[in-house]
Amino acid sequence: MAEYETHQHDVLVIGAGGAGLRAAIEASAAGVSVGVVTKSLLGKAHTVMAEGGIAAALANVDDRDNWKVHFADTMRGGQYLNNPRMAQLHAQEAPARVRELEAWGALFDRTQDGRILQRNFGGHKYPRLAHVGDRTGLEMIRTLQDHGIHQGIDVHMECTIVTLLKDGDRVAGAFGYDRERGRFKLFQAKAVVLATGGIGRAYKVTSNSWEYTGDGLALAYHAGATLMDMEFVQFHPTGMVWPPSVRGILVTEGVRGEGGILLNKDKRRFMFDDIPPLYKNQTADNPEEGWRYTQGDKNAKRPPELLTRDHVARCIVREVKEGRGSPHGGVFLDISWIKEKLPNAAEHIKKKLPSMYHQFKQLADIDITQEPMEVGPTVHYVMGGVRVDADTQMSDVPGLFAAGECGAGLHGANRLGGNSLSDLLVFGKRAGEYAACFAKEHSAVSVNPDEVEAAARQALEPFERESGEGPFQVQHDLQNMMQDWVGIVRREEELEKALSQIPVLWERWRKVSVGGNREYNPGWHTALDLRNLLTVSEAITRAALERKESRGAHFRDDYPAKDESFAKVHMTIRKGPDGEMRISREPASEIPADLQQIIEEMK
Ligand SMILES: Cc1cc2nc3c(=O)[nH]c(=O)nc-3n(C[C@H](O)[C@H](O)[C@H](O)COP(=O)(O)OP(=O)(O)OC[C@H]3O[C@@H](n4cnc5c(N)ncnc54)[C@H](O)[C@@H]3O)c2cc1C
């Protein structure tokens, strides 16, 4: 019999990033008992790394902004595959969530007259990102943590959930282990909120840290929930490319928002070469106008560097492929040029982009106030995830909620920068609120001890195999395969090759063995994470193969145009009764007439 500690909560939140903490605060405020489980230390979630800011139509810098413009921008960025109700709620509620964060103690950068300052970002019509230099996520997490801790929320740190437990159709809790000692823990809960973030570690080059192995998506899928939009993986155009040890680390879009320009090896500003018709009338056709825009001139048009991320990323790939890249396989991003415009440019850059300044100084020995950076695309964000109800965030499994990056719907085919932090606040709050309601309205759950026993046995299997491959090699091969064949530019033959490799990798995973004991054993942790990585990689590959067109972040070399027959279709993924992954095409939600009218007006 496996030994495990048991904890009881009304609501269990898995993940302590922005979405998880916001959900926990809301559930706790509703008077239910709340536990938060996090794979790493409290305060070390992905959210803490967010740099550029939180998108909310506060209209502090440009009074033409309002929720309708934000809604229309989000829908256009997502190529109208967004859940329109979620996009509406997000645009309407984000300003209140930001002000609330301020009331709880967050210190944002200010306008001259003392209001929250907002900066420009790709795809947003007006300056909209509330920020704290380039350390917005840190301030957000600090504030949420302080607030949450004082509400008496129980936090279980360095504890990784490996399985969700069910009572009939309903979720009944979760089972995991603590990283330090390897001891098992059982959490019994009437409602569970998944807030586990993204899937970046399925790829070789990513801005995501070690925790982002798609756990929430895989946990939900194996518990019977539906995943959707998995083909839409966002490649951020600017990650570091040199030195190799830091490849993929993010270079915030804030650099371009502050005036940074992209150049190829011939010092040519190549983004002017390819402006999509959709953005022609909103994009500057001369550098001077673009610069004025980044300085908040209401009448100027945005520079082409601030077009949507998928477009900028593909332009960079084109320059590199055609031999016009930088020495280490990227292009140049130059903010130092603004010294031609500002007498105190170096100080200005250090003040507005302190983390970028230190990141390049310390990791690449480059002073960004004096010389350009080398950058290239990096896997950054997944638009797909657990399908949820727009208002409540509940998945298809009763009592199981999902919020933040592991939920799907808000961003459609592509996310605008800044819309994730606002997503966490708006839908984190909603998930917490409705999870608390669910817990209050439903009776207690019971956990089947046999199910717990089976989960413990499965988790320990890698120790019992005497000979077998180590998990790191399987992980390495999976990441390379996803990078090469299911990457930024996709085609049928390569996706087919990836799909044929996935069962081979699953088979290798079933045989991995790990040595040592359960106390802080990274090999064992990787073996357990691999199940999640394989699940999400298979889902991404199947969905990418099925969508035979190019839309948003999904680009098919063999189908480079949009296809109307896919315009209102989601790829959904479920576990079949035989345990096999099933993919279906399902119609997208209709855009109600009042929201459609807003979209038309904004065009
Ligand atoms: C470098 C960088 C900069 C960014 N900048 C911005 C920006 O400026 N604006 C913006 O809007 N977005 C930005 N993003 C995106 C944004 O930060 C993320 O999408 C967002 O923070 C995700 O928040 P979350 O709450 O969903 O998850 P996370 O903050 O990723 O937190 C996930 C939590 O789940 C836990 N967890 C995971 N698996 C398990 C498990 N099995 N068991 C227990 N716990 C688990 C983790 O330990 C963690 O606590 C940026 C992303 C990166 C990487």
Choosing from 256, 415, 525, 542, the catalytic residue is 256
- For residue 94, being part of any structural domain is answered with no
- For residue 221, being part of any structural domain is answered with no
Which ranges constitute the DSSP H helices of 161-250? 215-222
Q: State whether the beta carbon of 374 lies less than 6 angstroms from ligand 1.
A: no
Atom of ligand 1 nearest to the CA of 406: 26
Clarify whether residues 373 and 245 are in a common domain. Answer: yes
- Cβ count within 10 A of residue 319: 25
Cis peptide bond N-terminal to 243, omega within 30: yes
CA-CA distance, 382 to 573, in Å (whole number)? 15
The rounded Å distance from CA 47 to ligand 1 centre is: 4
Atom of ligand 1 nearest to the CA of 250: 1
pLDDT the model gives residue 281: 85
The rounded Å distance from CA 162 to ligand 1 centre is: 18
- For residue 332, being part of any structural domain is answered with yes
CA-CA distance, 168 to 397, in Å (whole number)? 10
Are 366 and 375 a contacting pair, CB within 8 Å? no
Mutation probe of ligand 1 site: the residue of 352, 420, 529, 530 with most atoms within 8 A of C-beta: 420
Mark 216-228 as b/e (b = at least 16 C-beta within 10 Å). bbbbbbebbbbbb
Q: State whether the beta carbon of 141 lies less than 6 angstroms from ligand 1.
A: no
Amino acid at the residue 404:
G
Task: Compute CA distances 422 → 54, 162, 425, whole Å.
Answer: 6, 28, 5
CATH of the domain at 562: 1.20.58.100
Structure tokens at 541: 């590959």
CA-CA distance, 522 to 182, in Å (whole number)? 11
Clarify whether residues 366 and 242 are in a common domain. Answer: yes
CA-CA distance, 445 to 314, in Å (whole number)? 49
CA-CA distance, 82 to 419, in Å (whole number)? 13
Nearest CA to ligand 1 atom 10: 418
Clarify whether residues 360 and 243 are in a common domain. Answer: yes
The rounded Å distance from CA 319 to ligand 1 centre is: 30
CA-CA distance, 515 to 59, in Å (whole number)? 57
Clarify whether residues 472 and 568 are in a common domain. Answer: yes
Please report the sign of the dihedral spanned by the C-alpha atoms of residue 214, residue 216, residue 219, residue 223: negative
Task: Compute CA distances 478 → 69, 74, 274, 486, whole Å.
Answer: 41, 32, 33, 11
Q: Which SS3 state, helix, strand or coil, does residue 191 take?
A: strand
Roughly how many angstroms between the first and final C-alpha of the chain, as a whole number? 63
CA-CA distance, 238 to 250, in Å (whole number)? 6
Are 235 and 308 a contacting pair, CB within 8 Å? no
Q: State whether the beta carbon of 209 lies less than 6 angstroms from ligand 1.
A: no
Choosing from 9, 179, 201, 236, the catalytic residue is 236
Task: Compute CA distances 565 → 54, 521, 547, 550, 586, whole Å.
Answer: 34, 49, 10, 12, 12
Amino acid at the residue 81:
L
The rounded Å distance from CA 535 to ligand 1 centre is: 19
Clarify whether residues 370 and 465 are in a common domain. Answer: no
- For residue 27, being part of any structural domain is answered with no
The rounded Å distance from CA 318 to ligand 1 centre is: 29
Please report the sign of the dihedral spanned by the C-alpha atoms of residue 95, residue 89, residue 403, residue 485: negative
Are 377 and 233 a contacting pair, CB within 8 Å? no
Are 129 and 418 a contacting pair, CB within 8 Å? yes
Structure tokens at 542: 């199947």
- For residue 76, being part of any structural domain is answered with no
Q: CA torsion angle for 528, 534, 536, 542 (degrees, to 10)? A: -170
Structure tokens at 55: 């998108």
pLDDT the model gives residue 8: 96
Q: State whether the beta carbon of 574 lies less than 6 angstroms from ligand 1.
A: no
pLDDT the model gives residue 274: 87
CA-CA distance, 393 to 401, in Å (whole number)? 5
Domain boundary among 336, 360, 377: 377
Mutation probe of ligand 1 site: the residue of 13, 36, 44, 46 with most atoms within 8 A of C-beta: 46
Q: State whether the beta carbon of 161 lies less than 6 angstroms from ligand 1.
A: yes
CA-CA distance, 25 to 193, in Å (whole number)? 12
- For residue 415, being part of any structural domain is answered with no
- For residue 246, being part of any structural domain is answered with yes
Task: Compute CA distances 70 → 125, 265, 293, 401, 414, whole Å.
Answer: 8, 36, 18, 25, 15
CATH of the domain at 253: 3.90.700.10
CA-based angle 516:217:389, to the nearest 5? Answer: 155
CA-CA distance, 14 to 161, in Å (whole number)? 8
pLDDT the model gives residue 490: 94
Nearest CA to ligand 1 atom 12: 420
Give the residues across from 178 on adjacent strands: 159
Q: Quick check: is 442 catalytic?
A: no
pLDDT the model gives residue 382: 98
What domain range is 515 assigned to?
458-577
The rounded Å distance from CA 19 to ligand 1 centre is: 8
What is the count of structural domains for the chain? Answer: 2
Instruction: Give the DSSP H/E element, type plus range, for residue 569.
Output: strand 569-575
Are 545 and 495 a contacting pair, CB within 8 Å? yes
DSSP 63-82: TT--HHHHHHHHHHHTTT-S
pLDDT the model gives residue 106: 96
Q: Which residues contact 107 (CB under 8 A, 6 or more apart)?
A: 132, 139
Q: Which residues contact 307 (CB under 8 A, 6 or more apart)?
A: 122, 123, 271, 275, 276, 279, 283
- For residue 32, being part of any structural domain is answered with no
Domain boundary among 348, 377, 406: 377
Are 425 and 55 a contacting pair, CB within 8 Å? no
Domain boundary among 377, 407, 427: 377
263-267 long-range Cβ contacts below 8 angstroms, 24+ apart:
263/331, 263/332, 263/333, 263/334, 263/372, 264/319, 264/324, 264/325, 264/326, 264/331, 264/332, 265/324, 265/325, 265/326, 265/327, 265/331, 265/332, 266/324, 267/332
Clarify whether residues 467 and 572 are in a common domain. Answer: yes
pLDDT the model gives residue 333: 97
Q: Quick check: is 256 catalytic?
A: yes
CA-CA distance, 486 to 497, in Å (whole number)? 10
Structure tokens at 73: 């921008």
Averaged pLDDT in 10-residue chunks for the chain of 603 residues: 92 98 97 96 90 95 97 95 98 98 96 94 91 92 92 94 97 97 97 98 93 96 98 96 90 92 97 87 91 89 90 92 94 96 94 93 95 95 98 98 98 96 98 98 94 96 91 97 94 97 97 95 97 98 98 94 96 96 97 97 87
Atom of ligand 1 nearest to the CA of 422: 11
Mutation probe of ligand 1 site: the residue of 90, 196, 529 with most atoms within 8 A of C-beta: 196
The rounded Å distance from CA 41 to ligand 1 centre is: 13
Q: State whether the beta carbon of 403 lies less than 6 angstroms from ligand 1.
A: no
Q: Which residues contact 385 (CB under 8 A, 6 or more apart)?
A: 216, 217, 227, 228, 229, 230, 402, 405, 406, 407, 408
Only one residue has tokens 């020995």, namely 365
